[in-house]
Amino acid sequence: MAESSFPAGYAGKFLRVDLSKGSLTEERWGADSLRKWVGGTGVGVKLLYDEVGPDVAWDDPENRLIMSSGPLGGTSIMGTGTVSFVTKGTMTGGATTTQANGFMGAYMKFAGFDSVILQGKADRWVYLYLHDGVAELRDAEHLLGLDTYELKERICEELGRKERQVSVLGIGPAGENLVRMAAIAGDKGHVAGHNGSGAVMGSKRLKAIVAERGKTRFPIADDKALKERGRMIEEEILANPVSRNAYEWGTMVNFPGMVKSGMLPVKNYTTNLFPEAEDFSRPQYQQVWELKRMPCWACRTKHLHEVTIKGGRYDGFSGEEPEYEQWASWGPMIGNTDPAGAMVLSVELDRLGMDTNECSWLVGWTIECYEKGILTKEDTGGLELRWGNVEAVRALFRKIAHREGIGDLLAEGVKRASEKLGRGSQDLAVYTLKGNSPRGHDHRSRWVEMVDTCVSDTGTMEVGPAWLPQEQGAKANPAAHDWEDVAEQLGKHNGRMMFEDSLGICRFTSRTSMAGLGKAVEAATGWEGFTGEEALAVGRRISNLLRVYNLNCGMTPALERPSKRYGSVPVDGPVAGKDIKEHWDDMRRMYYDLMGWDFETGKPLPETLRKLGLSDLVSDVWP
């Protein structure tokens, strides 16, 4: 990239850290390149494509771990403390993009950096410290073995800073031991979890990234217009009943409704019935537990709290309030009907540094194997892995994080563990053939997310829940089990999530039109005429570069299918008897057509690449 001055909205420096050499160098991108890729996921995917070849393994020093904010990061718009991590992942062997909310995206910009590019492998454990326009590598040998909560506390103590004066994102024991579903976690509850980003960090012997809040500020092209756009976004969120619910109550407010739609994952997809769902919603537990608001950067939503359990077995236990997927993972998914137990498991998993989604499918599969006699008490090291046994699951977490006993097998993730165990256990495992696992829903009732998860090139969903799909010409209320509606929603909505993830903003505070997001970027950067159409093109450019990268890594269309249990037919509940498999190829074909991809190979067509400004890839993709 040609060196040039950064536009407004950016701190002005990319930091490259070669851990093998112990060197830190600053880089700059040209304004045209920044407008093409914006930041966050876009910048990360471009760097990954250019610098990490298809034969590089996830734990090779040549792999990159790229952390980036975006032009809205650290601004007055709500929830702009988000960072995106991009790397080559452990579960799929392809590209990974995963985000963490909280404070890092704001603080790293206040410290003077927009992106951090990590490569190599340190000869000893270190952590990266960003402050006052300076970057340092510091010794971290004394931090080994600490969980992610302890890590934040120890670093704050070491630096002489209060908790909100620094942001710390790092790994717990799971990342140190290269557990495949290890996550990058920090600030006591904010997690970048998908496709083993924490294991990649551990493979580089990097314990943490630390950014001090500092007093440095970056320029904004039109601060008044940006604040006005932020006010309008908040008004739009409050005017829409769906987004207002999340604003007021958080993601768990919809928990009871998930049962009615068949979306709640219960006992590893063996049932869709969970009559205790109401107990897991905040209106219930806030009556008996103590809640203290703990918002992310610049955020006024009311969904995040520090919770202290009152009464019962876990009286006095405190930690960050679980999001919906954590409640689903450690309640119905493992047959646990006690919300206090679910919260304990959620916090415990964050502290150890593991992804809640992959772990929940893994534990649900393990329990079912135990119940059916495929695994015995001798195999589990004495653990009674029955549905709802919270303390047995808690002990299993520690075994996995430290690769002890059966934990060494389970640390490979549900796909590899089931293949290695055999004995018919493969038929019980929920995963995509690429190797990643779904989010915390029963996708048999939400076909759009199952197809998205299997076809995605991000290591998780790529299109995500449609927000204002009619803006891209799709139906406002598509039918959940109409294959044409599903394919249309995916094909026409693709690009929005990738663009959002390039801005440095939380998914729940970006709920406005693409045109509205474009105007926010225009106000921050001064880029004239940054329209909703250009925003969508940026997102689709990222999606297509991801597609080419993963095809080069061997992730062919043959792998874009669910496992036997993942694609099974529900036996009870509101969607009993619905079978997605008979429509699978029809949905994939229509989705490919809408994306401009060849059905047989999955490759973006030459005209698709040229339209998105990726003409230089045509000869690589179509030699």
Residue in the structure block whose two tokens are 């179509």: 622
**Rounded (5°) CA angle 218-221-224:** 105
Contacts with 311 (C-beta within 8 Å, 6 or more apart), sequence order: 288
Question: According to CATH, where is 1.10.569.10 located in the chain?
Answer: 250-428
Structure tokens at 491: 């094909």
Residue 589 has φ and ψ, to the nearest 5°, of: -60, -45
Confidence of residue 253 (pLDDT cuts 50, 70, 90): confident
Contacts with 120 (C-beta within 8 Å, 6 or more apart), sequence order: 17, 18, 19, 20, 21, 61, 204
pLDDT in tens, 125-164: 999 999 999 999 999 999 999 999 999 999 999 999 999 9
Residue in the structure block whose two tokens are 């045209």: 32
How far, in Å, CA of 268 to CA of 418, rounded? 14
Q: In what order do the strands lie in the sheet with 184-186?
A: 134-139, 126-131, 206-212, 166-170, 184-186, 190-192
Q: Are 119 and 18 in contact (CB under 8 A)?
A: yes
pLDDT in tens, 420-463: 999 999 999 999 999 999 999 999 999 999 999 999 999 999 99
Yes or no: is domain 250-428 CATH 1.10.3190.10? no
Structure tokens at 387: 């549905």
- Average of per-residue pLDDT across 464-475: 90
The dihedral sign for the CA sequence 72, 76, 77, 83: positive
- Average of per-residue pLDDT across 1-15: 79
pLDDT in tens, 50-82: 999 999 999 999 999 999 999 999 999 999 999
Is 4 a residue whose pLDDT tops 60?
A: no
Contacts with 99 (C-beta within 8 Å, 6 or more apart), sequence order: 40, 41, 82, 83, 84, 85, 192, 501, 507
Question: According to CATH, where is 1.10.599.10 located in the chain?
Answer: 443-621
The CATH class given to the 14-212 domain equals alpha beta
Residue 54 has φ and ψ, to the nearest 5°, of: -65, -20
**HSE, side-chain direction, 13 A CA sphere, residue 310:** 9
Averaged pLDDT score across all residues of the chain: 96
pLDDT in tens, 81-92: 999 999 999 999
Structure tokens at 130: 């960003």
Structure tokens at 293: 């608001």
How far, in Å, CA of 72 to CA of 9, rounded? 7
How far, in Å, CA of 27 to CA of 25, rounded? 7
Question: According to CATH, where is 3.60.9.10 located in the chain?
Answer: 14-212
Is 200 a residue whose pLDDT tops 70?
A: yes
Measured distance between the N- and C-terminal CA atoms of the chain, rounded to whole angstroms: 25
How far, in Å, CA of 196 to CA of 172, rounded? 13
Q: Greatest CA separation found in the chain?
A: 66
Q: Which long-range contacts (CB under 8 A, 24 or more apart) does 139-143 make?
A: 140/206, 140/207, 140/208, 143/207, 143/208
Our measurement of the distance from residue 263's CA atom to the centroid of its chain's CA atoms, rounded to an integer in Å, reads 19
Q: Which of the following CATH numbers is that of domain 443-621: 1.20.120.140, 1.10.599.10, 2.60.40.10, 1.20.1250.20?
A: 1.10.599.10
Is 494 a residue whose pLDDT tops 50?
A: yes
Q: What is the DSSP string of 7-48?
A: PTTS-S-EEEEETTTTEEEEE---HHHHHHH-SHHHHHHHHH
Q: Please tell me the least confidently modeled range out of 297-306, 429-438, 479-488.
A: 297-306
Confidence of residue 3 (pLDDT cuts 50, 70, 90): very low
pLDDT in tens, 312-370: 999 999 999 999 999 999 999 999 999 999 999 999 999 999 999 999 999 999 999 99
- What's the burial of 378, exposed, middle or buried (CB within 10 Å: 0-12/13-18/19+)? exposed
Query: What 8-state DSSP symbol labels residue 498?
Result: H
How far, in Å, CA of 580 to CA of 131, rounded? 51
* Numbers of helices and strands, H then E, in the chain: 24, 15
Residue in the structure block whose two tokens are 């890839």: 617
